[in-house]
Amino acid sequence: MTTTELTKKDMLLESLNELDFSNEPQFAQDLRSNAKNALENLEFPTSKTEYWKYTRIGKIINKTYGIQHEASDSNIAITPYLIPELDANIVVLVNGFFRADLSKIENESGLNISSLKDAVNNSNPFVENSLGKIAKAEKELFIALNTLCYTDGVAIEVDKNAVIEKPIHILNITNSDNLISNTRTIVKAEENSSIKIIESFVNLQGNESFTNNVSEFFLNANSNLEYNKIQNKNGESYQISTEQAYQLKDSNFTINTITLQGTLVRNNLNIEVDAEGCETNLNGIYLGEGKNHTDNHTIVDHLKPNCNSNEVYKGILDDNSVGVFNGKVFVRPDAQKTNAFQQNNNILLTDDAVINSKPELEIYADDVKCSHGSTIGQLDDEAIFYLQARGVSKRSAINMMITAFVKDALDRVSIPALKNYIDLKIDSRFN
């Protein structure tokens, strides 16, 4: 026994050691042990880590968490978290585990939704071949942490030519205080297929809980994948969320990140566009209040010619909240005729709210159209007065202005019921 003090990382890993994965097939165990090795070389980010410059994670790592070892059978009323008027396949995860009893899944032809744990234990070929292939443990500590100890999640496979109209709604629930959960989503859209997914993150009770989730999206030729992430955790809550996508020829990937609440939220989006003719849309809205801290880091890597990417992030920051936006677009030497558009607009509702916005373009090709912009402003008092002078209450006027401000960030939400739901959430927030 050495007298060396245990580091924060050791302590976190120690608590996670209690998880037992020894019954898993070899490939899954290999993945975990690889992540364990990767973790040896990765440290928690500090103020000197460029990628984490504006986000301190002390709040998350200076705590001890409990873990849940297996799915419980506690009854949970999920209705309040469903999206009204939405006919969807409902996949419920609670404290890191799939809950078949609460879920409502009808696998239609061409669609296969299953718990990730089951898919792993059954050595599902798609999961075996793809898990961890693009969200690589060596790259980032929180990916490694998730890979080492993810407990469950969702695996979705859409067959060739299958156009799935009915969205999948993953309800990722935390209902314990001081709990760490690592969930994982893996989605593969085969050639010419189409799928829409919503994942909402909520707390039923979950004060000072930490969710570290990772998603991997594989888009084969001419496929369409829309992923809508709704972050709506109340109370003191922490989330680090990584989405990794890989696009092949003529595919269309859309990711909408809507952060309604959350004490500390960090989103890492990494999209590799590795074939011609692709379209990538990454939009987001973040509403900060109190001392919330919301950080969106996105990377779009254009490796091949003739692709478009569009990015619109809108932030509304109230009270003492802090927003961080860092959007990076790489256009590699081969990626001629790339159109990349990026925009981040912010409204600060108080003098104490803060935004750090940094759109970045790194262009190594010469025949491209790229633009980026970032704005910070206040709500237009004159416009609010104009509306009031017609009899509209100040509250409604502010609400109208905010709805107008965020509007184009919602253009790529193609599910009408979801759009209404988001509108209502924003509405009730400012009413």
Partner 1 sequence: MLKIKDLHANIEDKEILKGINLEIKAGEVHAIMGPNGSGKSTLSAVLAGREEYEVTKGEVDFGGSDILEMSPEDRAREGLFLAFQYPIEIPGVSNINFLKTAINETRAHKGQEAVTAKEFLALVKEKSALVELDAKLASRSVNEGFSGGEKKRNEIFQMAMLEPKLSILDETDSGLDIDALRIVANGVNTLKSKDNATVVITHYQRLLDYIVPDFVHVLYNGKIVKTGGKELALELEEKGYDWIKEEVDAVS
Which residue lies nearer to partner 1 by CB, 6 or 404? 404
- CA-wise closest residue to 244 among 234, 235, 232, 253: 253
Q: Smallest distance from the beta carbon of 387 to partner 1, in angstroms?
A: 6
Which residue lies nearer to partner 1 by CB, 291 or 429? 429
Which residue lies nearer to partner 1 by CB, 370 or 392? 392
Q: Smallest distance from the beta carbon of 394 to partner 1, in angstroms?
A: 7
Angle value at C-alpha 73, between 106 and 63, nearest 5 degrees: 110
225 neighbors 253 (Cβ within 8 angstroms)? yes
Question: 194 in helix, strand or coil?
Answer: strand
Q: Smallest distance from the beta carbon of 44 to partner 1, in angstroms?
A: 41
How many DSSP H helices and E strands does the chain contain?
9, 20
Which residue lies nearer to partner 1 by CB, 80 or 391? 391
Q: Smallest distance from the beta carbon of 309 to partner 1, in angstroms?
A: 24
Q: Smallest distance from the beta carbon of 345 to partner 1, in angstroms?
A: 12
DSSP 359-400: EEEEE--SS-EEEEEEEEE---HHHHHHHHTTT--HHHHHHH
Give residue for tokens 């109190």: 290
Which parts of 84-221 are beta strand (E)?
Answer: 89-94, 97-98, 111-115, 152-158, 168-174, 180-181, 183-189, 194-203, 209-219
Contacts of 35 (CB under 8 A, 6+ apart): 132, 137, 144, 145, 147, 148
Residue 37 pairs with which residues in a beta bridge? Answer: none
Q: Smallest distance from the beta carbon of 339 to partner 1, in angstroms?
A: 24
What span, in angstroms and rounded, lies between the C-alpha atoms of 153 and 94?
10
Q: Smallest distance from the beta carbon of 412 to partner 1, in angstroms?
A: 17
Q: Smallest distance from the beta carbon of 424 to partner 1, in angstroms?
A: 16
Q: Smallest distance from the beta carbon of 230 to partner 1, in angstroms?
A: 22
What span, in angstroms and rounded, lies between the C-alpha atoms of 232 and 254?
20
Which residue lies nearer to partner 1 by CB, 92 or 402? 402
Which residue lies nearer to partner 1 by CB, 39 or 413? 413
Q: How many CB atoms lie within 10 A of CB 337?
A: 16
Which residue lies nearer to partner 1 by CB, 287 or 401? 401
Applying CB under 8 A, the residues found at the interface with partner 1 are 380, 382-383, 385-394, 396, 400-401, 403-405, 407
Which residue lies nearer to partner 1 by CB, 15 or 396? 396
Q: Could you write out the three-class secondary structure of 44-109?
A: CCCCCCHHHCCCCCHHHHCCCCECCCCCCCCCCCCHHHCCCCCCCEEEEEECCEECCCCCECCCCC
- CA-wise closest residue to 405 among 421, 383, 385, 420: 383
What span, in angstroms and rounded, lies between the C-alpha atoms of 65 and 181?
9
Angle value at C-alpha 235, between 233 and 240, nearest 5 degrees: 45
Which residue lies nearer to partner 1 by CB, 365 or 379? 379
Q: Smallest distance from the beta carbon of 375 to partner 1, in angstroms?
A: 13
Which residue lies nearer to partner 1 by CB, 87 or 380? 380
